[in-house]
Structures are given as C-alpha cells and as structure tokens.
Amino acid sequence: REKLNRQEAQQRVKRIEAYWKHARECIEKAQEKQAKQANRHRRKPDFDVGDRVIIMKQTETTGRPSDKLGFPMTQQHYRIEKKVAHAYLLEVPDSWKGSKIFTADRLRKYDNNPEQAGPPVRLKKWLEAAESDDFAPEHPDDNKPERAGPALRRSSRKGG
C-alpha cells in the first residue's frame, strides 16, 4: 500500500507541475497581448533626463469656469530630474500639490529649451540667395541660432 501511495503522490505532483507549466504559458501569452495593446498608442519620448518639458493637462483642476476655457497644457516648464521605470520625476516647486511623477504621454518637450540651438538667424536670406543662384555676403550673425518664440511656432503650425 505504501508503494502505491508513493506512485500516486508522484503522479499528482507531475500533474500539478503540468498545471503550473500551462498556467505559466497562459500568463506569458496574456502579458504579451496586454503589452502589445498598451504599446499600440504609446509615443516614444523625444526628451530625457535634464530636458525641460511641459505637462499636458488632462485631469488637473483649474480656476477656470470651464475646461474649454482652460489651457490644454501647463504654462510652466519643468526639468526632468530622473526616469523612474516608464515615467519621469519632475523638479517642481515646493508649492506643487499634485504628483511629481508623469508618464511620457503626458509630457511634451519644451520648445524654448535654452540648451538647444535652433536654425540659423539668416537661414531665409541664405535660401533666397540660393534660389536666385547668388551668394549671400558673410555676416557676423551667420552662426547665431534663432530661437522660435510662441507666436512664431503657432503661425508656422497654422500655415503648414
């Protein structure tokens, strides 16, 4: 009887191990499907630690009478302090009452990033000279970067 019990016990253990293996395979398959679905609309961040970003407003409450009258994004820019898994920890003022951790889909790179150079100031003149098959004379501002202000960014989006 003891030998029979050992054999039954070993068979049960093998059966339980087979259940575990099947469950593990099902879990991995479900996780792959969930990751594929989650990554479908995920945007690749164009910023990293040290860059300045703007927070896209989604659920923040404002002093405005209606969300339609509110700004679609915060008007301040914040520096990314560090990356935490798939989210970013921002350097925010001490008076900040919300969370300091945001996912990449809620953040946009700040256009007036002072560490980034823009196109040259005289780029338009160079293009005009190239169209007329002429050379633009040298100027001290030839290598000076142009910083696009908010009005210029808005007008270029509407026109193009």
pLDDT at residue 149, as a whole number: 45
Q: Are 110 and 51 in contact (CB under 8 A)?
A: yes
What's the predicted TM-score (pTM) here?
0.45
Mean pLDDT per block of 10 residues along the chain (160 residues) reads: 78 96 98 91 81 75 64 70 84 82 84 62 82 79 61 41
> What pLDDT does residue 65 have?
66
Distance of alpha carbon 41 from alpha carbon 61, whole angstroms:
25
- Cβ burial of 158 (10 Å; 0-12, 13-18, 19+) is exposed
pLDDT at site 159: 42
Which pLDDT value is given to residue 158? Answer: 42
Alpha carbon distance 52, 81 (integer Å): 10
Q: Which residues contact 1 (CB under 8 A, 6 or more apart)?
A: none
Residue 31 has what pLDDT? 97
Q: Report the pLDDT value the prediction gives residue 98, as an integer from 0 to 100.
A: 79
**Residue recorded with tokens 């700004």:** 71
pLDDT at 66: 67
